[in-house]
Amino acid sequence: MAKTNFFEIIPQGTKFDFMRAGKIFIPLSALLVAASLVIIFTKGFNWGIDFAGGLEMRVEFKGAAQNVRIGDMRKTMENLPPDLPLQGVQVTNFVMPGRNVFSIKAKGEENVTRAGGDAALQDLASKVLTFLETKYGKGDVVVVSTDMVGPRVGSSLRKQGLYAIIYAMIGILVYVGFRFNFKYSPGGVIALVHDVIITAGIFSLFSREMNLVIVAALLTIAGYSINDTIVIFDRIREGRAGRYRAIPLHQAVNNSINETLSRTVLTSGVTMLVVIALLFLGGEILFDFALAMTIGIVIGTYSSIFIASPIFVMLEDIFAARRKAKGAAR
């Protein structure tokens, strides 16, 4: 019976055939990516105010309204009058000693904000204050701050967020190429694109808000996933240069993945404990970020093992066949 150490939950000598499994999981992943792209392009995203434009107000309740609770505020903001064309209203409560402060985030209707720009958003902010004063009493509602993102700025931020993801992918492609060999790069980058697209597709499918925080989560997922992939690639390179030089490539890669499997599972498992804690205990503000990270860590761990390495082997087989064909032609 194989000995299991405290920090090694996968027994030594494990011989799981990841390359054979890759022949099943690569087509499955291709279908998931295709489905995610169809959902994204047909349904689109539920853009947050960072990208769609909107306003965020922080209001403090004093006097007779000092004891207003978040449930009351949410019910109030769900019953807005017709002259307040707000969408996707979110209300959160800031815990401050002796103070009762709420954050109100909302998007204006697209035709209103696009036609009126910042002036339309300012008018909406004034109407929100008037509405709250009517409900809770004039003088008992004080605006602490108002931040607005116009439609043009939101569109610009959306492009910048997309560029950030693309530049990150290019940077990772170049890094892996120089760190190992450019033959390793396609597998690593395809795995990253796979992770980001599927995570984004799930957010689109369930209409979760897409904002700058989620873009940050997608970039974090890319970094986390490539970290796992690099550990595996490093073990593959060491094995091919040493003890696995005389055995077939797919067997050398299988052995390398099995050797790093315990480390991969432990690292992902410990990270998941933190992310799940954020998911269930972090409150509404952190929920979407934690949700994206949870999805990304699961998919990223899977793609590091079942996507990146099998693609590397497939490409190596193609290059080897071409070299053999050229040699035979000579």
Report the range of poorest mean pLDDT among 67-71, 239-243, 296-300: 239-243
What's the token pair of residue 116?
């009126």
C-alpha to C-alpha distance for 309 and 257, rounded to whole angstroms: 8
Describe the crossing of helices 283-303 and 185-205 by its angle, rounded to 10 degrees: 140
Mean pLDDT of the chain: 85
Matching residue, tokens 């401050």:
96
**Is the distance from CB of 303 to CB of 194 less than 8 angstroms?**
yes
Domain parsing of the chain, residue ranges: 18-47+154-323, 54-149
Task: Give pLDDT, residue 238.
Answer: 87
In the DSSP assignment, the letter for residue 64 is G
Confidence band, pLDDT 50/70/90 cuts, at residue 186? confident
C-alpha to C-alpha distance for 256 and 254, rounded to whole angstroms: 5
Report the range of poorest mean pLDDT among 6-15, 156-165, 202-211, 288-297: 6-15
Q: Which whole number is the average pLDDT over 131-138?
A: 90
Q: For residue range 194-240, what is the model confidence (pLDDT) as tens digits?
A: 999 999 999 999 999 998 899 999 999 988 888 888 888 888 888 88
**Is the distance from CB of 314 to CB of 189 less than 8 angstroms?**
no
CATH of 18-47+154-323, one of 1.20.1640.10, 2.60.40.420, 3.40.30.10, 1.10.3720.10: 1.20.1640.10
What's the token pair of residue 8?
């090694």
Q: What is the CATH number of domain 54-149?
A: 3.30.70.380
Task: Give pLDDT, residue 35.
Answer: 98
**For residue 2, pLDDT beyond 50:** no
**Is the distance from CB of 239 to CB of 247 less than 8 angstroms?**
no
pTM: 0.83
Task: Give pLDDT, residue 90.
Answer: 87
**Is the distance from CB of 102 to CB of 91 less than 8 angstroms?**
yes
